[in-house]
Amino acid sequence: MLFIRSFMILFLCCMTIRINLCFSSNPSSLRNLSVDGHFSFDEVHHAAKDFGNRFQLLPLAVLYPKSVSDIATTIRHIWQMGPNSELTVAARGHSHSLQGQAQAHQGVVINMESLQGPKMHVYTGNNPYVDASGGELWIDILRECLEYGLAPKSWTDYLHLTVGGTLSNAGVSGQAFRHGPQISNVHQMEVVTGKGEVLNCSEKQNSDLFHSVLGGLGQFGIITRARISLEPAPDMVKWIRVLYSDFTTFATDQERLIDPVQASQFHSDGRTLYCLELAKYFNRDRADALNEEVGNLLSQLRYITSTLFQTEVPYIEFLDRVHVSEKAISSAAATGSSMLTSLDDTVPDDSR
Ligand SMILES: Cc1cc2nc3c(=O)[nH]c(=O)nc-3n(C[C@H](O)[C@H](O)[C@H](O)COP(=O)(O)OP(=O)(O)OC[C@H]3O[C@@H](n4cnc5c(N)ncnc54)[C@H](O)[C@@H]3O)c2cc1C
């Protein structure tokens, strides 16, 4: 009797475990997860598109998280499905990837822009920084920081990208030669790991995770919050663009500028053109001195003189020059190469 009773108990336990495993390893079990935001299982087609328009990988579901805990709960659930589950997860920022990096074939796409984390916080003391959500757009970070006369040190040319999207890559623009890419200007992050844990990481805390996630193409965890280094924002930018038809001359001048485009009317006569674009940050009270300095600088370069374009624009207008920049990139791509070099006039000469 004792043997039969033990056997029955064991049998029933196994049945229960089996039923649970079947339940949790079934992707549709996501429907029963309790989250602050919501899952969409029907309207998922937009998550199978990106800027490249070359890959269309249809996901099973899109999660619109309202909290970090939504992301952690979902990933923990998928982790618990075990190694036999083929359900993949991809964070989606502003989906400006070109090759489907933010897509998940029959998996779960996490729409980071719907994350409603704690409000952005700007710290204005020594070594200022901003704490921002992984789904925040850089343009919104810039606007918020400018309220305090501050701005992130390193940019992308195009600012309608998310914090998580560019920190998973590198984040490169004209300031990178001075401050490094955006991933070199992060103090710490909050990350949801592949097991669904929420961890803080920095150079000193969980440093392996910190260095893996930065530039990790979304493969080592999901960035839910980042502390980004700031500096005083200048008022204005002197924006200069010139074209070259000879690459060696172009590269020599580019090196000269790193050491210390609006030429649309110009006819290339079928030659490849090289575009050198410079930005010199300054405050309005230095405008005269700056113009003299720029005049001296340009007189040493050997670009095609008729192609010189220069203007002065407010700092935010320059950084958010979305349409102008895209036009410049596409025209430069059609004709040759382009590089934006930002010479920060607010930094003393000896630190260049
Ligand atoms: C018009 C245009 C201009 C660009 N300009 C620049 C530029 O000047 N400098 C530059 O460096 N790059 C530039 N890029 C490239 C761009 O930075 C990258 O494609 C970037 O990944 C896009 O950010 P996103 O928010 O759209 O991310 P998505 O395309 O949505 O995602 C990119 C990758 O990051 C992952 N990811 C997204 N969010 C998170 C998160 N929170 N945590 C972890 N992983 C995440 C995704 O899974 C995916 O692998 C440009 C791209 C375009 C289309």
Q: What single string gives the DSSP state of each residue in 48-80?
A: G--TT-------SEEEE-SSHHHHHHHHHHHHH
The reply to whether 35-114 and 236-351 are identical in fold is: no
Q: How far apart are CA 262 and CA 240, in angstroms?
A: 9
Residues 6+ apart with CB under 8 A from 175: 153, 154, 155, 342, 344
**152 Cβ below 6 A of ligand 1:** no
**Cβ-contact 213, 91 below 8 angstroms:** no
Average pLDDT, stretch 157-177?
Answer: 92
State the distance from the centre of ligand 1 to the C-alpha of 123, rounded, in angstroms. Answer: 26
Summarize pLDDT for 16-52 with one digit per residue, the tens. Answer: 333 333 334 466 788 889 999 999 999 999 999 999 9
Helix, coil or strand: residue 240: strand
96 close to ligand 1 (CB < 6 Angstrom):
yes
Q: Please give the Cα distance from 250 to 255 (Å, whole number).
A: 9
Look at the domain 35-114 and name its fold: 3.30.43
Mean pLDDT in residue range 60-82: 95
To test the ligand 1 pocket, which listed residue (92, 95, 161) has its Cβ within 8 A of the most ligand atoms?
161
pLDDT at 330 over 60: no
* From 96, 139, 140, mutation site for ligand 1 pocket: most ligand atoms within 8 A of C-beta: 96
Residue spans per domain, the chain: 35-114, 121-232, 236-351
Q: Ligand 1 pocket, 216 CB below 6 A?
A: no
CATH architecture of 236-351: 3-Layer(aba) Sandwich (3.40)
CATH number of 121-232: 3.30.465.10
What number of CA atoms fall less than 13 Å from residue 111's CA on the CB side? Answer: 21
Q: Which of 86-95, 154-163, 269-278 has the lowest mean pLDDT?
A: 269-278
The encoded tokens of residue 186 equal: 């992060």
Residues 6+ apart with CB under 8 A from 267: none
252 pLDDT tier (thresholds 50, 70, 90): confident
Pocket test for ligand 1, best of 70, 158, 318, 331 (most atoms within 8 A of CB): 158
Which amino acid residue places its CA nearest to atom 49 of ligand 1? Answer: 101
Whose CA is closest to atom 48 on ligand 1?
Answer: 102
**Interatomic CA distance for residues 236 and 71, integer angstroms:** 40
Instruction: Look at residue 9 in the predicted model and tell me its pLDDT.
Output: 55
Q: What whole-number distance in Å separates Cα of residue 49 and Cα of residue 34?
A: 27
Residue 118 Cα to ligand 1 middle (Å): 22
Statement: residue 126 has pLDDT above 50: yes
- What confidence tens digit (pLDDT) does each residue in 169-209 have? 999 988 888 899 999 999 999 999 999 999 999 999 999 99
Residue 91 near ligand 1, beta carbon < 6 Å: yes
Segment 139-149 mean pLDDT = 95
